[in-house]
Structure 1
Amino acid sequence: MSSSADPGDGTASTLREHAHALFDAGELHAADAAFARLAAQHPDDGALHYMRGLANKYLRDWSASLQHNLRAQALESDFDPASAWNAAIAATGCGDWEQARRQWARCGIDIPAGDGPINADFGIACVRLNPWADGETVFVQRIDPVRARLLNVPLPESGHRFADIVLHDGASTGTRWSGEADVPVFNALQVLERSDHRTFAVFIQCPDADALEQLQQATLPGIGYVEDWTLSIRHLCLRCSYGAPHTHERDDADLEEAGNDDWHPERSLGIGAQGRTAVMRLLGDWAAAGVGRHVDSVSACDSELPLPAPGRAWWRGMDEDDASP
């Protein structure tokens, strides 16, 4: 019997166990259908509507998720923060700001007054991009309880860009050290606002750390952020990937901090910029300002966002035994 097949005896308890098993296995469409059959038989069971809202959240069907979470709330005898959080996430995904604000108020979260999108300072955090595809983790500035702007230049393969605004889940899946404190890590669910900063993979010869800092601190219209991928991206040789000239005289895994005592001149950069002209001007000015500075390769990179596939409960934290709310 396949995981999506109906159980043999057809009792309500067995059907419910089957629906939960489908959800836990990441078979979200089948789980939603199973909970729908149960809800048709037990229309006043709020837990079934909650589970439909949860399944549709991870299917990223925000309208359906909101509908079922609101129905679960209507059947609640006591306030349930889980349905309120999930309703707020779904309303945010829909752009229903009136409903999102209402749900955050129910959760006791202080947000600025207004009618439209929430735009405040909810602190620094991290998000896992494309968590269904083992995506990278980047730092973000949270602008509302579940929306955040990317502060790093993600790898092109992620399909994300510097300054994208993403919707993220409400439950943290871990923490990461920011340099000042441990900050929560959330699963990114969807890009809500696409940045106009494209990603450029840039490979340079840089004589010392001071020269690199000058490049990173330089300001120019159209340049968003210059990130040194040499230290942060270690699981593949980017120069090999992009065909940039280089040698393998040392193992980049041995690199620690960017200092002049043991400097590696071949640097791999990610630049978030609005266009190639701005990138070339930035690099040209930098190369002309000192000896030993050379640009090996510049590649504009665009990739499609990878989509979730069934059969994986990607929303779970690393140490979770149960699915997060």
Structure 2
Amino acid sequence: MTAPGELERAAYAAWDREDWDGAVRGLTELVALEPDGERSPAWWFDLALAHKFRKDWAHAYEIGKEAAARYPRGEQEPAFWNLGIAATIMRDWATARDAWAGYGLTLPPGEGEIDADLGMACVRLEPDGEPEVVWVRRVCPARARVVSVPLAADRRFGEIVLHDGAPSGERVVEGVRYPVFDELMLWATSDLPTLSVTVTGSGADVVELVELFAAAGLGAEPAGNVRVLCACCSEGSVEQERHAAEGGTQRMWLAAPPSRAAELLAEWRGRAPGRDWADLAEAHT
């Protein structure tokens, strides 16, 4: 029989190489050998984490329950946070709610899927591909609804993403700090297409157009709001000014069914002189 010390060294050597399969094998042997030893809480935690890195959510969920059971509640132990993420993916809402409470969070009371308003943040979509940071409104500790109009062809305003718990950057707007979380997976898609349109009007006119779409539960934002950052800068602390809308003729991104977008644009144009719009079309064709 392999000694625990030898197993531990092999497991964490694999961990250091980011060989998650090897780490899982070694840690699985360790917790089977000493499930409740002095070092076992850390082994259970790391085993659940290794499954998370492998995106094996079923095992991250099952092992995560074992890990959380070995840590004190209410002290912001990461084992509860990781269990909350895994339980959310498995749609075990009772376990997810208990995990968030075990971490030390207070959520609105209820049962079933969590749909709260936990404020604004940012999420980095496709962090391992072509990343794009978008604004979101958090609906639970691990999920958020996209409220920007993404530029990526396969992403949509209104979709719900599941994100990691540790921020990888922040955006600072008027002194308020908003964390940037990395996306773990797309939770729920949105069927709202991304459109482009050319509008003419004053800065106040553009603000009114954005507000008109927002009141309808749709998206609108000037293309000039997009800011390109290198990966290093994006993952740091980025100061952003709250953009004052510019007047003149400019391109805008919309998230709406084409017919509804045309209705709202016509309504907007008719409210004041000097406004116009043209070239409404699918942005990604």
Q: TM-score scaled to structure 1, two decimals?
A: 0.69
Q: What amino acid is aligned across from residue 131 of structure 2 in structure 1?
A: G
SS at match of 1:167: strand
Closer, same or farther: CA 285–123 of 1 in aligned 2, 3 Å: closer
Q: What amino acid is aligned across from residue 189 of structure 1 in structure 2?
A: L
Q: CA deviation at 1:65?
A: 0.8
Q: 1-side partners of 2:280 and 2:85: how far apart?
A: 41
1:271 aligns with 2:247: no
Q: CA deviation at 1:295?
A: 1.4
Q: What amino acid is aligned across from residue 127 of structure 1 in structure 2?
A: V
Tell me what 1:177 maps to. Answer: 172
Tell me what 2:43 maps to. Answer: 48
SS at match of 1:127: strand
Runs of 4+ in 1 over 4 A off after TM superposition: 77-80, 219-223, 284-292
Number of equivalent positions: 259
Q: What amino acid is aligned across from residue 44 of structure 2 in structure 1?
A: H
Q: Percent identity?
A: 30
Which structure ranks higher in relative contact order (CA pairs < 8 Å, sequence separation ≥ 6)? 1
Closer, same or farther: CA 125–39 of 1 in aligned 2, 3 Å: same
Aligned counterpart in structure 2 of residue 258 of structure 1, from 245, 248, 253: 245
Q: What amino acid is aligned across from residue 177 of structure 2 in structure 1?
A: D
Gaps of 5+ in 2: 230-242
SS at match of 2:218: strand
Tell me what 1:34 maps to. Answer: 23
Paired residues of 1:128 and 1:136 also in contact (CA < 8 A)? yes
1:1-325 correspondence to structure 2 within 5 Å:
11-12=6-7, 14-23=9-18, 30-43=19-32, 44=35, 45-74=40-69, 76=70, 81-157=77-153, 159-179=154-174, 181-200=176-195, 202-219=196-213, 224-233=218-227, 257-260=244-247, 263=248, 265=249, 267-273=250-256, 275-286=257-268, 290-291=273-274, 293-301=276-284
Moved more, 11-20 or 148-157: 11-20
Q: What amino acid is aligned across from residue 13 of structure 2 in structure 1?
A: H
Q: 1-side partners of 2:155 and 2:20: how far apart?
A: 29
Q: More strand by proportion, 1 or 2?
A: 2
Q: Deviations over 1:179-205 (max 9, x none)?
A: 4611122112112122232222x1415
SS at match of 1:114: coil
Q: CA deviation at 1:87?
A: 0.6
Tell me what 1:308 maps to. Answer: none
Q: TM-score scaled to structure 2, two decimals?
A: 0.78
Q: Deviations over 1:8-60 (max 9, x none)?
A: xx95354134211232xxxxxx4134332342255224433322321322333
CA RMSD, 1 decimal? 2.9
Gaps of 5+ in 1: 1-9, 24-29, 236-255, 303-325
